[in-house]
Amino acid sequence: MAAKKEKEIDEEELKVDDVSLDEEEDTVVVEVPEDEPTLDDLPGVGPATAEKLREAGFDDMLAIAVMSPSALADAAELGEAVSAKIIAGAKKLANIGGFLSGNALLEKRSEVLKLTSSSVAVDELFGGGFETQAICEVYGEFGSGKTQIGHQLAVNATMPISEGGLGGEVFYIDTEDTFRPERISQMARGNGLDPELVLERIHVARAYNSAHQMLLVDEIKRMAKNIEVKMVIVDSLTSHFRAEFLGRGKLAERQQKLNKHLKELKQLADVSNALVLVTNQVHSKPDAMWGDPTKPIGGHIVGHASTFRLYLRKSKGGRRIGRLVDSPNLPEGEAVFMVTGEGIRD
C-alpha cells in the first residue's frame, strides 16, 4: 500500500515542470531553485536604481527590508515614495526566517553527530567530539597544529558513525598548499584503516584566491545534493582574504565577503548535517591597530559565525595545548595532546 501511494505521488509530481526523470539513474531529480531574488526583482527597481542601491551598500533583501523609507531615501539618494515601495517589495522577498518550536529544535539537535579527534582529552573538551551542524574555528600561530587537526579529522570523518566517524565524504579546500596525501595515509594506517579507501573519500581542491575559495563552496553545495557531504575543511579560511584586502580602506569589504562565505558554510553544515572546520592564523605583529597578538584574523565576524573556537598553542616536549573558547553549551577548558607520526594522540 505504501508503494502504491509513492507511485501516485511520483506520477503527479512528474507533471510539474521542475521535476525530471533521470533515465540513467532511474530516479526522480527535483531541481531546487537556489538563486536568491536580486535587487532587480524588486518592484520599481530598474538597472539605474539597482546600481544606486548597490553603491550605497544595499545588496541584500534583508538589509533593505529593515530600513525606514526616509533612511533608505537618504542613503541611496532616492525619492521617499520610491523607497517605501522598494522596502515593501523587499519585505516580501526577504528571507526573514521563522520560529521553530523548542521541540522541533531539539529534534534537529538530536541528529547532531560527534566526530572523534583520536585524542580522548580533546574529545572530552568538546563534550564527546566535534559536532556536526556547526562551524569550528581552529586558530593559532604558524606550526601550532591546525593543519594536522584538519588532516586527522578528515581521516576520522570517513570512519563509520559507530566508530566515532561521520560515515561520509570529506571536502578539503586548501588555500596554502599544505594538504599532504602522504600524511593522510600515515594517519589512516595509524587508525588501522586502508589508506587508499580513505583517500578515495577525501576530495581536495586548491583555492587560488578568495573568489575561487567562495566558488568552491558553491560547488560543494551543488554536489551535496547527490553526495553524502559530512565534513568541509577550509585551511586556511582567512589567508587569501588577508592578502587581497589590505589596509583600513578594504577592511569593510573584506569582512563583508568573509561574512557571506561563512554564512554559506553554515548553511552547508545545517542542510547536510555536516561539520565545517576552518583554520585561522593569529595576528603575528602586535601593533597598535590590531592590539593583542593572539587574536585571530577576521575579528568578530569569524568569531560570531563559529560555533566552537579552538585556540592552539605549542608547549614543552612537542605537546600542544588546545583551549576551547566561547562555546554555546560547554565550559571553557584546555586539553593537552601530541602530534605523532600516526596522528593526533593524547
Ligand X SMILES: Nc1ncnc2c1ncn2[C@@H]1O[C@H](COP(=O)(O)OP(=O)(O)O)[C@@H](O)[C@H]1O
Sites of contact with ligand X (CB under 6 A): 140, 142-148, 339-341
Beta pairing partners, 88: none
Residue 339 C-beta: closest distance to ligand X, Å = 4
Does 147 help bind Mg ion (rule: CB under 5 A)?
Answer: yes
CB of 258 within 8 A of CB of 238? yes
Residue 147 or 156 having the CB closest to ligand X: 147
* Cell 572546520 sits on residue: 277
Residue 221 or 240 having the CB closest to Mg ion: 240
Residue 174 C-beta: closest distance to ligand X, Å = 11
Residue 146 or 183 having the CB closest to Mg ion: 146
Residue 57 or 341 having the CB closest to ligand X: 341
Question: In this chain, which residue has its C-beta nearest to Mg ion?
Answer: 147
Does 280 help bind Mg ion (rule: CB under 5 A)?
Answer: no
Residue 291 site contact among Mg ion, ligand X, none (CB < 5 to 8 Å, cut-off depends on kind): none
Residue 118 site contact among ligand X, Mg ion, none (CB < 5 to 8 Å, cut-off depends on kind): none
CA dist list (Å): 101 to 84, 94, 98, 293, 341:
33, 22, 10, 42, 47
How far apart, in whole angstroms, are the C-alpha atoms of residue 148 and residue 144? Answer: 9
Residue 169 C-beta: closest distance to ligand X, Å = 22
Does 307 help bind Mg ion (rule: CB under 5 A)?
Answer: no
Q: What are the helix and strand counts (H, E) for the chain?
A: 14, 13
Residue 134, phi then psi, degrees to nearest 5: -145, 160
Mask 165-194, x = binds Mg ion (CB under 5 A)? -------------x----------------
Residue 155 site contact among Mg ion, ligand X, none (CB < 5 to 8 Å, cut-off depends on kind): none
How far apart, in whole angstroms, are the C-alpha atoms of residue 340 and residue 144? Answer: 13
Nearest partner of 279 among 313, 308, 236, judged by Cα: 236
Residue 94 or 233 having the CB closest to Mg ion: 233
Query: Residue 63 is inside which H or E element, if any?
Result: helix 61-65
How far apart, in whole angstroms, are the C-alpha atoms of residue 47 and residue 40? Answer: 7
CB of 37 within 8 A of CB of 93? yes
Residue 328, phi then psi, degrees to nearest 5: -70, -30
Residue 322 site contact among Mg ion, ligand X, none (CB < 5 to 8 Å, cut-off depends on kind): none
Only one of the segments 144-152, 201-209, 219-227, 336-344 lies at the binding site for Mg ion (rule: CB under 5 A); that segment is 144-152
Residue 340 C-beta: closest distance to ligand X, Å = 6
How far apart, in whole angstroms, are the C-alpha atoms of residue 232 and residue 150? Answer: 10
Residues that bind Mg ion (CB under 5 A): 146-147, 178
